[in-house]
């Protein structure tokens, strides 16, 4: 009896592993590869800036495991949060043209990228749902 239950449990875990792999593969394959490279390059630059600031200018350390894990998760999920944010802004401003000062744009863009990176684990699930709803038809 126990061997039958164990075999069933192994089969269920194998099916769960296949579903998770299919989800991850589908999420990455449905995105544009240039967008993924650009997003991971941006996320790497943000992590580099944060490490540089921590090492030379701030009096804190990133030795807290939660902060390190948050940065790793944010780095992995950043492209999905970025995709969701960009498509949300395009959907809101469909035919609207905004004329803004270039200096304001140079200030706003890094702040936006940094905030997207820091909140990527919270925004990315929406981006993953958006990918599966819109690109898997």
40 and 99 in a common domain: yes
80 and 24 in a common domain: no
Q: What is the pLDDT of residue 137?
A: 55
- Over the stretch 67-108, which tens digit does the pLDDT of each residue have? 778 888 999 999 999 989 988 888 888 888 888 888 898 999
Residues 101 and 136: their CA atoms lie apart, in Å, by 39
The first and second tokens of residue 107, run together, are 């200030």
80 and 52 in a common domain: yes
57 and 69 in a common domain: yes
Does position 63 have pLDDT exceeding 70, yes or no?
Answer: no
97 and 42 in a common domain: yes
81 and 127 in a common domain: yes
- In Å, how far from its chain's centre is CA 36? 10
Range of 86's domain? 33-134
- How many domains is the chain built from? 2
42 and 81 in a common domain: yes
Percent of the chain's residues with pLDDT above 70: 91
DSSP code at position 135: S
38 and 5 in a common domain: no
Q: CA 22, 26, 32 angle in degrees (round to 5)?
A: 160
* Prediction pTM value: 0.75
Does position 1 have pLDDT exceeding 60, yes or no?
Answer: no
6 and 49 in a common domain: no
């Amino acid at each position: 009896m126990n061997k039958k239950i164990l075999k069933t449990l192994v089969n269920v875990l194998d099916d769960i592993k296949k579903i998770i792999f299919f989800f991850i593969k589908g999420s990455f394959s449905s995105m544009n590869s240039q967008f993924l490279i650009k997003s991971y390059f941006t996320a790497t630059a943000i992590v580099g800036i944060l490490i540089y600031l921590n090492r030379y200018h701030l009096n804190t350390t990133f030795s807290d495991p939660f902060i390190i894990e948050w940065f790793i998760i944010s780095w992995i999920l950043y492209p999905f949060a970025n995709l969701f944010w960009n498509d949300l802004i395009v959907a809101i401003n469909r035919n609207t043209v905004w004329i803004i000062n270039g200096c304001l744009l140079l200030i706003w863009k890094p702040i936006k990228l940094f905030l997207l990176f820091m909140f990527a684990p919270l925004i990315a699930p929406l981006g993953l749902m958006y990918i599966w709803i819109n690109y898997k038809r």
